[in-house]
Structure 1
Amino acid sequence: MRFPQNFLWGSATASYQFEGAASLDGRGYTVWDDFCRRPGSILDGSNGDIACDHYHRYPEDVAIMGDIGFGAYRFSLAWSRILPDGIGAVNQKGIDFYNALIDELLKKNITPCITLYHWDMPYALYRKGGWQNKDSVDWFANYAEVVARAFGDRVKFFITFNEPQCFIGLGHVSGEHAPGNIMSRRSVLEMTHNVLMAHGKAVQAIRSAVPDAMIGYAPTSGVACPNTDRTEDIEAARKAYFDVPDQPNYMWNVSWFSDPVFFGKYPEAGLKVFEKDLPDFKPDDFKLITEPIDFYGQNIYNGYSVEDDGQGSYRRLPRKPGFARTACGWPVVPECLYWGPKFLYERYKKPIYITENGISCTDSVCLDGKIHDTERIDFLHRYLLSLGKAIEDGVDVKGYFVWSLMDNFEWAKGYTERFGIVHVDYETQERTWKDSAFWLKEVIKSGGAIL
């Protein structure tokens, strides 16, 4: 198997999980800073104040990326490092940090891929109502314009939002992520609509400042995979994947967050489920939401099996006893990286980037001083084979970003989960390549041929 010659191999991180320097050089307070100070919110009682100290160690980290052979680095900006209050005065020291990081990446021939928002809203804006405030559409567009004008001479690859299902669903439906404010279904749907409009207005702002920008959007999904190759089961899986089921975390679906962006309307299944709680939508809202984008990012980690129920719908199958799981309990479902891109490409007809994929393992430094993460290598091998098969079958997948470059602060799990291909000793900040980093270097060097 060989991936396309111009295929983009990258790694990914997020600002709050990785940068540290939480109170240095004018960075403003965020919802995650505040959430971590709420007793019981984080499994190990930790926070992202220091994290991987990337703020001070970025030259070393970029050198690691270059040595592995990554052609791209997807990183999020800390909104409050650039605009401490979310709006108003720009913090030049924040701009300077990202300028230095971008220049370092370009020296190593690594494409900088900016994500505007990976969950760390400035606390000053949360106090104004956060995403429920309609002004958030303009706040975010203003931030996007500042970013585009500051970095658009060198950065051409932009993503507006990372996983809105999570920062809305986990932040306001289950409450297990920041800001941990559980709200009514109507309020949550209002926030979702404002986020989608903010996406559209940010696209306009970036396009205006950087006409040659490549702009995308990166939601997430658990993929419905057909139990067999029967046509009936494949169609059942497709229906399940784009359905909007009425479930406890009703934000966890694909089509409510993507149909408006590409089709200019919410899916009928969701309109029925949410009928009693729908806020007022204006036709012009959807003109903004459907502002054209260049690619569709998708974070995919796992999936579930579906079969035809014999009545024109689908049946979700229980997992087999003893099914394979990652260290954090997520199921191992390699075929999700075939069926997810396939179904998404057929429905939305946009080039696809896998903007996150990876595994948490119980990694430790062995007696020989090395980290032998054979489970991660096997996971990535299986998933990349599935992705390669999707490409061979005509799915236009442009790139793959492994999550994550190195171990970091894993949100509500603190430092108890390790997703990196590079090990971090959080006491010394020493970085050590895991076996998976050496393996992935050979995969990239061979263009996937060693798979």
Structure 2
Amino acid sequence: RRIDALANRSFTDPLLRGRYPEDLIEDTAAVTDWAFVQDGDLARIHQPLDLLGVNYYATTAVGLWDGTTARQQHDGHKDVGGSPWPGSPQVEFLEQPGPHTAMGWNIDPDGLEELLLDLHRRFPDQPLVITENGAAFDDRVSVRPDGTLAVHDPERVDYLRRHLLAAHRALTAGVDLRGYFVWSLMDNFEWGYGYAKRFGIVHVDYETQRRTPKDSALWFRDLARTGTIPPPTHG
């Protein structure tokens, strides 16, 4: 409940309900009096939304820390000397079972379906769009006989396929889901990791700036053209 309030409801409630969650205000009373919320702020925040964007990559499991063992903190954040979860010292972030991406994030498409269904239950009249979903992997680059590059990323193809199937299950269950965007089009600079992690479906040679569509891009192209989820591997 505490982490859901900090990570999710602190955004959705003011946007869609016009208020901050009462439990969040109580949980964080020791670190803030909420004076930063000024008169008129919530009225400006609470506006009709054409679409609510949903970013999803992995799940997070939490539990109550018993205080007698080392506190687990597998929350995906680097240790910067403070907690991104104020008011939650009794919560520990449990290690997620695999498989994992190159970021160390677990792969769980069911979590996307659960998130979409939960948002639909809370806000049944709000259209949704998946604005970010993707994964970093160690892609395999090879040279074809004609000298062109091929970039093989079967793990990413599988990741995208399974998450799109999860999104489709939510859609058929009644979720008003209007669209899906892969993160990202091209390998890019990740703010916490520089150029070390590749999320793109298009490979970028950082020395030459040469762009090469990966197998996942070819797979996603077929999806966009046909409206049908292709088989796991590109032919």
TM class by smaller structure: 0.7 to 0.9
Counterparts of 1:407 and 1:260, CA distance in 2: 34
Identify the match of residue 4 of structure 2 among 243, 254, 279.
243
User: Would you say the 8 A contact 1:241–1:254 is kept in 2?
Assistant: no
Counterparts of 1:413 and 1:449, CA distance in 2: 31
Counterparts of 2:47 and 2:130, CA distance in 1: 21
SS of the counterpart of 1:365? strand
1:384 is aligned to 2:159 = no
Counterparts of 1:429 and 1:371, CA distance in 2: 15
SS of the counterpart of 1:450? coil
Say which structure is richer in helix. Answer: 1
Root mean square deviation, CA, Å: 2.3
1:408 counterpart letter in structure 2: N
User: Would you say the 8 A contact 2:157–2:216 is kept in 1?
Assistant: yes
User: Would you say the 8 A contact 2:60–2:96 is kept in 1?
Assistant: no
Give the Å deviation of 1:377: 0.3
User: TM-score under structure 2 normalisation?
Assistant: 0.77
2:133 counterpart letter in structure 1: N
User: Would you say the 8 A contact 1:304–1:316 is kept in 2?
Assistant: no
1:432 counterpart letter in structure 2: T
SS of the counterpart of 1:298? strand
Counterparts of 2:192 and 2:62, CA distance in 1: 30
Indicate how the Cα distance of structure 1 residues 397 and 302 shifts in structure 2: closer, same or farther if over 3 A, else same: same
Identity among equivalent positions (%) equals: 41
What corresponds to 2:34 in structure 1?
Answer: 279
Give the Å deviation of 1:289: 1.3
What corresponds to 1:354 in structure 2?
Answer: 130
**Structural mapping, 1:15-414, within 5 Å:** 240=1, 243-244=4-5, 251=6, 253-276=7-30, 277-280=32-35, 281-304=37-60, 318-319=94-95, 323-349=98-124, 350-368=126-144, 369-414=149-194
Q: Name structure 2 gaps, 5 residues minimum.
A: 64-90
Q: Deviations over 1:89-141 (max 9, x none)?
A: xxxxxxxxxxxxxxxxxxxxxxxxxxxxxxxxxxxxxxxxxxxxxxxxxxxxx
What corresponds to 2:79 in structure 1?
Answer: none
Q: Name structure 1 gaps, 5 residues minimum.
A: 1-239, 245-250, 308-314
User: TM-score under structure 1 normalisation?
Assistant: 0.41
Indicate how the Cα distance of structure 1 residues 388 and 304 shifts in structure 2: closer, same or farther if over 3 A, else same: same
Counterparts of 2:229 and 2:214, CA distance in 1: 21
Counterparts of 1:441 and 1:268, CA distance in 2: 45
Q: Deviations over 1:172-219 (max 9, x none)?
A: xxxxxxxxxxxxxxxxxxxxxxxxxxxxxxxxxxxxxxxxxxxxxxxx
What corresponds to 1:17 in structure 2?
Answer: none
